[in-house]
Amino acid sequence: MSGTHAKRTAEYRRIRIIVGAAVVACLVWAFASLPYDILRAERARLYGEEATTGVVLAVRGVESSDTGKGRLVVDYKYIDPDGFARTASARMDASKWSQYRPGRSVKVIFVRNRPEIVRLPGEEEPAFQLWLRDLMN
């Protein structure tokens, strides 16, 4: 029975090798381009987020290099559950400048087990991160 199959030609074998190498290269590229820091942060968020109050330290305007639109960078300070004061920055749309004046209180959302993973409501986040969060919720 083993002798009844037609032998593959050398050209057919070359095509199979090229296609296989292309598939492997695409998989390697896809895994290498995954933003693992975003994946880790969202995985930690699955274990629960908590809200606290922070204080705006400074607000500065920057121009977005990809869209050319004005953006705000809000620097703020908050106290984590262990009592440590932490500072962080958030990128916001420039239209929200009146909400984030220095000295104002802001709602800060942080991951319960990893308080260094933090965000402000309305903070600009990568589209992949928003998609992943919607997928997991």
* pLDDT cut 90: percent of the chain above it: 20
Q: What type of residue sits at position 34?
A: L
Distance, CA of 90 to CA of 20 (rounded, Å): 44
Taking alpha carbons only, the member of 92, 102, 98, 101 closest to residue 71 is: 92
Query: Between 134 and 92, where is the model more confident?
Result: 92
Q: What does the pLDDT average to over 80-100? A: 84
Query: Between 54 and 2, where is the model more confident?
Result: 54
* Residues whose CB is less than 8 angstroms from the CB of residue 109 and which lie 6 or more positions away in sequence, other chains included: 49, 50, 51, 118, 119, 120, 121
The model's pTM is: 0.61
Q: What pLDDT is stored for residue 15 in this prediction?
A: 93
Q: Is the dihedral of CA 96, 55, 63, 37 positive or negative?
A: negative
pLDDT tens string 14-64: 999 999 999 999 998 887 777 767 766 676 667 677 888 899 999 888 766
Query: What is the enclosing helix (H) or strand (E) of 62?
Result: strand 49-63
With bands split at pLDDT 50, 70 and 90, how would you rate the model's confidence at 88? very high
Q: What pLDDT is stored for residue 50 in this prediction?
A: 81
State the DSSP string of 75-134: EEEEE-TTS-EEEEEEEEEGGGGGG--TT-EEEEEEESS-TTSEE-TT----HHHHHHHH
* pLDDT cut 70: percent of the chain above it: 82
